Amino acid sequence: MFYINGFHDPYYGMGRGPHKDNDIGQMMYYNGHSDYIMDCADGDVNGDRIPDSVCTVGNRPGDLQSPFVENIAILIQDGKTHKYTRIPLKENMGYNPTVFLGDFTKDHIDDIFVSIDSGGSGGFSYDYVYSFVDNIPRLPFDSEEASQELKYQVNYRDFYKVEVICDTLKKKYIIDISDKGSEYLSEIYNPDGTLKTQIDTPFLGEVIPLGNVYPVDYQRDGIYDLNLIQRVIGKYNADTLAVVETILEWNGAEFVPTTQRLSIFGSEF
């Protein structure tokens, strides 16, 4: 067990917050709470130019071998006053809650990017960008909201083609599935390559709304954009036909999609 902020030693924790190297996985006490430290990063997030310490923290209800974490929150220790601020998250349970600091909102002050793996079979994560300028938490990006704003259609077409349409961005993509093998294709297609009128699968084609989000500094100017990756699935969850990558950039008021592309996986030959 591990004590921060003068629980045992009144000087311990003064001038330092939790740090990555020593404290990950340790329990800490602050403001009358106890939490496990999951990940940490240092940077000025409130804009006073003094580096702050930012961690993801949470409870570990299972035994400590289990990676499951609940009540996940962001914990900021102000580098100047050493005061703690805890920001609870909307989706607050999952695996491997990581924190990354970087400027996403173009004000040259670090924002807080948090990712939590959902752990479900969909393989998606919950991702947030918080800003903390002047010690006020704001949430400019929530991956659930952002992904739900992107509306898609996935339509199987004659001759082993799957059309993916992003209605929101008015973009259309065509995937060739002719190398899927006869077992897969014969359920959907007639021998002449036209679509069957009666298809015996419970569902066919979807872009899973929730995906994964990665910060990328495309212009190498110290400003991070968000790369949202969503899976296009065919007959079932594990049948990934492609992924849609949407790059979202801060426009001064919100994150907006600037570029979108569809990526396919190579087939063995």
For residues 239 and 49, give the distance between their C-alpha atoms in angstroms, rounded to a whole number: 48
Residue, CB closest to Ca ion: 105
3-state SS, residue 81? coil
CB of 256 to Ca ion, least distance (A): 16
Helix (H) or strand (E) holding 86: strand 84-88
CB of 219 to Ca ion, least distance (A): 15
Q: Specify the residue, 30 or 160, whose C-beta has the smaller distance to Ca ion.
A: 30
Q: Specify the residue, 93 or 129, whose C-beta has the smaller distance to Ca ion.
A: 129
33's tokens: 């709470």
Binding site for Ca ion (CB under 5 A): 44, 46, 48, 50, 52, 79, 103, 105, 107, 109, 111
CB of 112 to Ca ion, least distance (A): 9
237's tokens: 């969850």
Q: Specify the residue, 54 or 243, whose C-beta has the smaller distance to Ca ion.
A: 54
18's tokens: 């939790």
Q: Specify the residue, 139 or 169, whose C-beta has the smaller distance to Ca ion.
A: 139
CB of 140 to Ca ion, least distance (A): 9
CB of 169 to Ca ion, least distance (A): 25
Q: Specify the residue, 23 or 52, whose C-beta has the smaller distance to Ca ion.
A: 52
Q: Specify the residue, 43 or 94, whose C-beta has the smaller distance to Ca ion.
A: 43
3-state SS, residue 18? coil
Q: Within 13 Å and on the Cβ side, how many CA atoms surround 133?
A: 14
Contact 42, 111 (CB under 8 A): no
Question: How many residues in the chain?
Answer: 269
Contact 82, 14 (CB under 8 A): yes
Report the Cα 80 to chain-centroid distance in Å.
30
CB of 102 to Ca ion, least distance (A): 8
